């Protein structure tokens, strides 16, 4: 796999862990009583979490690798795995509450709010609108690959909204390229992702949290993995028929996207007919379920119900 896709999941060394535990302790001491510390970092495990329990009553962990032990009160893994329970069985305390699967997808409220508008668009007529977004930085340059594939394959039957993240250094080049094409609109660092998804008939994009956003809105997608940790979850979704997995970023080219666009044009109903099924997997209420679980656990004892997040 291309080095751009690799992600360093090595645990922090003992010195770094000790320094950060001390820093967390000082921070929490300055705040006062805190019930929950939320940890979202692939480099941390029970070696960090256990000493942090000296400062907080509960530790919540967000993970999807299932490759290290945790000392947690609660763990969230929103990915779809057939062996979800078994993956963490030997890695958690026996009393740890596990919230596993897309039912607990941590989505912003606007995705739930757009579901009604999306239902009205499940059976579109006329030209189809495609949404493309490959993450904030797009280090593997998927956006340009997509646009070149679009240029080589699309006629007037499709239009596209292409979202370019604020961390993408090629925005000027992408704008210039899109300006040579009809029916292509560039959106730079937009805050309207939910409404753009609701107004689209199909998507091309990166794996990750965007999978759950698209499923919540019943938006079928051709998905590329731009990080190593995305591959296994993407393959699991493809096996369930929930996405069209087109490979990792080191395997894609403009022709990859051109071929996928040709398939979409040739058989649009094959890609659009499963929208309601996708929406059944992710209802947009996952964040509320996680919050309710946290508050229910906190209510079992006294506390201020304060939260601190420690992540990447």
CA–CA dist 273, 270 (Å, integer): 6
144 in a known ligand binding site: no
CA–CA dist 211, 203 (Å, integer): 10
Tokens found for residue 57: 């009553």
pLDDT digits (tens, 9 = 90+) for 47-84: 999 999 999 999 999 999 999 999 999 999 999 988 88
For 271, phi then psi, to 5°, come to: -90, -25
Q: What is the pLDDT of residue 10?
A: 63
Distances (CA, A) of 248 to 5, 88, 91, 143, 205: 8, 26, 29, 14, 11
Could you say which residues of the chain have pLDDT below 50? 1-8, 302-307
Q: What is the largest CA-CA distance in the chain?
A: 63
Q: What is the pLDDT of residue 5?
A: 42
Q: What is the pLDDT of residue 217?
A: 95
289 in a known ligand binding site: no
**Tokens 């209510």 identify what position?**
299
Of all helices (H) and strands (E), which one includes residue 18?
helix 14-31
Contact 252, 145 (CB under 8 A): yes
What's the burial of 61, exposed, middle or buried (CB within 10 Å: 0-12/13-18/19+)? buried
Of all helices (H) and strands (E), which one includes residue 118?
helix 115-119
CA–CA dist 135, 20 (Å, integer): 29
pLDDT digits (tens, 9 = 90+) for 17-27: 899 899 999 99
Domains and CATH numbers, the chain: 14-107+284-311 (3.40.50), 109-281 (3.40.50.2000)
Contact 141, 214 (CB under 8 A): no
């Amino acid at each position: 796999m291309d080095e751009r896709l690799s992600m360093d999941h090595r645990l922090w060394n003992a010195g770094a862990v000790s320094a950060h535990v001390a820093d967390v302790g000082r921070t929490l001491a300055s705040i006062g009583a805190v019930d929950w510390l939320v940890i979202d970092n692939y480099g941390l495990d029970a070696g960090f979490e256990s000493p942090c329990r000296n400062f907080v009553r509960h530790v919540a962990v967000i993970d999807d690798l299932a490759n290290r032990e945790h000392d947690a009160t609660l763990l969230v893994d929103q990915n779809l795995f057939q062996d979800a329970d078994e993956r963490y069985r030997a890695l958690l305390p026996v009393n740890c509450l596990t919230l596993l699967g897309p039912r607990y997808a941590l989505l912003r409220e606007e995705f739930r709010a757009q579901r009604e508008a999306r239902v009205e668009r499940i059976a579109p007529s006329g030209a189809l609108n495609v949404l493309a977004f490959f993450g904030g930085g797009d280090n593997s340059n998927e956006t340009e690959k997509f646009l070149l594939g679009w240029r080589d394959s699309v006629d007037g039957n499709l239009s596209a909204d292409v979202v370019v993240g604020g961390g993408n250094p090629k925005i000027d080049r992408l704008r210039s390229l899109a300006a040579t094409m009809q029916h292509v609109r560039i959106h730079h660092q937009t805050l309207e992702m939910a409404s753009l998804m609701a107004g689209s008939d199909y998507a091309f994009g990166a794996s990750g949290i965007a999978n759950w956003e698209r499923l919540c809105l019943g938006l079928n997608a051709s998905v590329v993995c731009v990080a190593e940790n995305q591959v296994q979850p993407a393959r699991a979704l493809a096996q369930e028929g929930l996405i069209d997995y087109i490979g990792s970023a080191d395997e894609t080219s403009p022709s990859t996207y051109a071929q996928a666009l040709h398939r979409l044009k040739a058989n649009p109903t094959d890609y659009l007919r499963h929208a309601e099924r996708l929406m059944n997997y992710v209802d947009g209420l996952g964040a509320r379920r996680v919050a309710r679980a946290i508050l229910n656990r906190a209510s079992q004892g006294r506390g201020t119900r304060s939260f601190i997040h420690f992540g990447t």
